[in-house]
Amino acid sequence: MKLRNSIISLVLMVMLLVCPITNGFASGFDTFPLNAWYFVGSFSFTNYNITPVKTVEGRYLTMIVDFYKPTWDAGLGEVKLTMDVWDAYTGVSITGQFVVGITSGTTVISVPIYNLDMGYSGRQVQIWFDASSAGASNGNYRSITIDYYRVYTSNSTV
């Protein structure tokens, strides 16, 4: 029994040394296809969220973001959703920060964002989401639920 456990331990140690170790963030790229709507997902976050790397097949990116303030948000008053699109490898902002909208309750707000210029087709980006207080703040991080998030890419403006 002791010999068996030693062999298993040795095999596991060798696997750790030989096999590459990656985290879930680096598990692969999503591609936003050219001339097609692509459903990205639904998620909730507090303070901010950064997507894994995305390849944008077209030069222009259009997004529709449906969001609301979840009931468990710990802040006061309205919540503001701000976004930015960064180059995945330099971290430099492509679009500059832009306010998507402000919500005060659990009613879903749907906001289209048209023709964000990525500079060229095939660019790899990360999309940054930020939840913050739109007015008075009690110092708590704010929360937002992205109810439905979809994108469209093209090589001409929509």
pLDDT tens figures, 67-105 = 999 999 988 889 999 999 999 999 999 999 999 999 988
Give the CB-side neighbour count of residue 61, counting CA atoms within 13 A. Answer: 29
Position 75 scores a pLDDT of 85
pLDDT for residue 146: 95
CATH of 25-154, one of 2.60.120, 3.30.460, 2.60.40, 3.30.530: 2.60.120
Q: What is the pTM of this model?
A: 0.78
Looking at residue 3, its pLDDT comes to 58
Q: How far is CA 24 from CA 28, 76, 147, in A?
A: 8, 34, 23
pLDDT in tens, 12-69: 343 433 333 333 333 345 899 999 999 998 999 999 999 999 999 999 999 999 999 9
